[in-house]
Chains A and B, each alone.
Chain A
Amino acid sequence: MGMSVGGGSGVKAEPNVTPMIDVMLVLLIIFMITIPQINAGFKAVPPEGQNLKPHPEEDGDQVLGIDDQGRYYLNKQPVRNEDLETLVKDIYGKERDDYIMYVKAHKDLQYLKVINALDLLSRSGVRVAALITEQTPGTESLVESDRIKPGGSQ
């Protein structure tokens, strides 16, 4: 607490809020920039579920997004339907550690759209599709191995 007692004429008891406002504004801007990036840049609300497996994000993850209009996004970049197969083949056609692809699809989509995408992935070399689902608030998975803290094991 910086405090200076001077012998001057006026007594000023107002806190200087300017630095605080600066910090708040910077934080606000940081949040405004990060939140849309975290939300993957497309409109898809994943369905909710209870017995889900934790999949902490890693660098090499490939995410296929399907938004509420059925449009495809590969790692948050919109792709044309006809290009998707080639792009996925480029990724999974070569030697990799895993052949898992994350699929983040909108919950109200017709299942046809999703199975079409899964079909395409299976043709392009993907072996496991992890369907991204959100934990219903206040629930916990009934499967014991899901409750291990993420980060502890793969």
Chain B
Amino acid sequence: MGMSAGGGGSSLNNEINVTPMIDVLLVLLIIFMMIIPMSRKAIDTQLPDPNPQPAQPNVNPDQIVLEILPDDKYAINKEPVEKAQLFTRLKAIYDPRPEKIIFVKGDTMTVYANVIWAMDQARGAGVKVIGVAPK
């Protein structure tokens, strides 16, 4: 706190010292700039093999395919599942199952957000690997 009492001046000058405020604002700015890129989140999906083997008889009979149908409808291995029941069903399937792989096949007419929602539920139910089924 610099304080000078001079006798020669002409006026009493009362100034706010803004330096600490600038310091605080700059630190806040830096913190925000650090946090914004750190907060990115995503769902990892495995893309289909671009060169599938032509002959693959009975690939894996017990693989789980989650289908997202238009109008917010869902099906696990062709069997329709209520939206509200989806998480419970997936949990019941994946809790005892050692391989946590799911294939997600979205109908081309569905909304992207519904597909993400379904993948999100699958991850919550314990799925580790999400495969995107080819078109």
Contact = CB atoms under 8 A, between A and B. Distances in A.
Contact of A6 (B7, B41, B44, B117): B7
Contact of B22 (A23, A102, A116): A23
A114 B68 CA distance: 14
Contact of A127 (B17, B36, B46, B112): B46
B120 A150 contact: no
Nearest to A16: B15
A16 B15 CA distance: 5
Contacts of B41: 52-55, 132-135
A104 B38 CA distance: 16
Interface residues of A, number: 69
B38 A123 contact: no
A130 B42 contact: yes
A131 B25 contact: no
Contact of B12 (A8, A34, A123): A8
Contact of B38 (A7, A53, A57, A109): A57
Contacts, number: 211
The majority secondary structure among interface residues of chain A is mixed
A151 B38 contact: yes
Closest 10 CB pairs of A and B: A6-B9, A8-B10, A122-B47, A130-B42, A112-B108, A49-B120, A57-B37, A52-B41, A51-B123, A47-B113
Interface of A: 1-17, 19-20, 23, 27, 30, 34, 38, 47-57, 100, 102, 105-116, 118-119, 121-123, 126-135, 141-143, 150-151
Nearest to A134: B41
A30 B25 CA distance: 12
B36 A38 contact: yes
A129 B14 contact: no
Contact of A34 (B7, B33, B45, B126): B33
Given A8-B10, A8-B11, A56 B37 contact: yes
A133 B43 contact: yes
Contact of B15 (A2, A105, A110, A122): A2
Nearest to A145: B128
Contacts of A102: 42
B5 interface: yes
A111 B7 contact: no
A134 to B, nearest CB: 7
Nearest to A113: B112
Contact of A1 (B3, B68, B114, B117): B3
Contacts of A135: 39, 41
